[in-house]
Amino acid sequence: MFAIIGIVIVFGCIVAGYLMEHGNLKVLIQPAELIIIGGAAIGTVLIANPLHIIKKIVANLMSVLKGSPFTQAVYLQTLKMMYDLFTKARKEGLVALEADVEEPSKSAIFTKFPFFVKDHHLVDFVCDTMRMAVAGGVDPFDVDQMMELDMDVHHHEEQQPVAALSTMADALPGLGIVAAVLGVVVTMGALGGPPEEIGHKVAAALVGTFLGILLCYGLVGPLAANITKIVDDEHAFYYVLRVTIIAFMKGTPPIMAVEVARRAIPGRVRPSFQELEKSCRNQGGGDAAATSAA
């Protein structure tokens, strides 16, 4: 939502300032320049990146419009889910979790939290790790190293679309110059014509440079920066899961394991101790809250 507001402010203020100087708005409307710059920029992305990264770029751009999904409500419900899972293991033994981690889509615990079962990587991250705990004989330190490796690989994959978008942003000013040079070439061919026609073509050429710089620093660059922050939020979310699982594997009681994880949550979305305790102890409130958090 704030991304949309920001885009409106950027373009709105530029247009407003231009009109305050009595500029002619029609001069800025140059479809040919936009096609040259935008088409070339999209083409460079297609040349430099495989299909799966292209798909991820589109998905990430949609996530910018929605905002970061890792809210305080999602953290609360995640810790509630882990608390329920650990409590079951404490009461019935780790072997009792085998059915939950083997078929999470049928688990009585996991299915109460739709946001979890919809994310296949999140499901694999938790369930594959808990399989190690159920199997036994694995040192918590080794599991911690394994989870860190998983997080690093996933974070690197999520950074690739950001890097592609940043490269596109860096290319836009240069592509704007390309459009401007082509405009100058067209202008040279019109020399000897009416001054108004030559002036219009020169203006069109300059608009190419303007659009390239504007799209770089006013749109694509900020979008890449926003996606980077969402990717970092996801990394922080996985770190919280890593902390709580390792704490439990070291023998920490369930309520203390989720409290340790709560301390690892970024401050802006960290719930209070009372909120976490209320969420964990509220055995009947998981369904509705998890649905609303998703």
Report the chain's mean pLDDT, rounded to a whole number.
90
Amino acid 283: pLDDT: 58
The single-letter DSSP state of residue 268 is: G
* 6 & 142 share domain: no
**249 in the same domain as 148:** yes
Identify whether residues 77 and 119 lie together within a single domain.
yes
| Residue (of 82, 121, 128, 136) closest to 101 by Cα position | 128
Task: Give the residues of the chain that fall short of pLDDT 50.
Answer: 284-294
**Is residue 177 in a domain?**
yes
**Spatial distance between the Cα atoms of 57 and 63, rounded to a whole number of angstroms:** 10
Give the Cα separation of 80 and 281 in Å (integer): 9
Instruction: Retrieve residue 12's tokens.
Output: 């709105």
In a domain, 16, yes or no: yes
Instruction: Give yes or no: residues 151 and 167 share one domain.
Output: no
The reply to whether 224 falls in a domain is no
Indicate whether 107 and 181 sit together in one domain: no
State the pLDDT at residue 290. Answer: 41
> Does one domain contain both 83 and 185?
no
Q: Which are the contacts of 169, defined by CB distance < 8 A and separation ≥ 6? A: 215, 216, 217, 220, 221, 224
Residue 190's SS3 state is coil
Nearest-angstrom CA–CA distance, 92 and 76: 24
Q: Is the domain of 138 the same as that of 77?
A: yes
Residue with tokens 């799209």: 215
Q: Is residue 186 part of a domain?
A: yes
Per-residue pLDDT reduced to its tens digit, 185-229: 988 887 777 887 888 888 888 999 999 999 999 999 999 999 999
**pLDDT for the residue 197:** 81
243, 138: one domain: yes
> pTM for the full model?
0.86
CB atoms within 10 A of CB 149: 10
The pLDDT of residue 188 is 87
Tokens of 209: 């440079």
Q: Are 78 and 194 in a shared domain? A: no
Q: Which domain holds residue 60?
A: 2-65+162-214
Domain boundary among 147, 182, 214: 214
- The domain tally of the chain equals 2
Instruction: Please indicate, yes or no, whether residues 55 and 100 belong to a single structural domain of this protein.
Output: no
- Using alpha carbons only, how large is the chain's radius of gyration in Å? 26
8 Å CB contact between 138 and 176: no
Do 51 and 80 share a domain, yes or no?
Answer: no
Judge whether 193 lies within some domain: yes
Task: State whether 147 and 23 are in the same domain.
Answer: no
Residue 225 lies in a domain: no
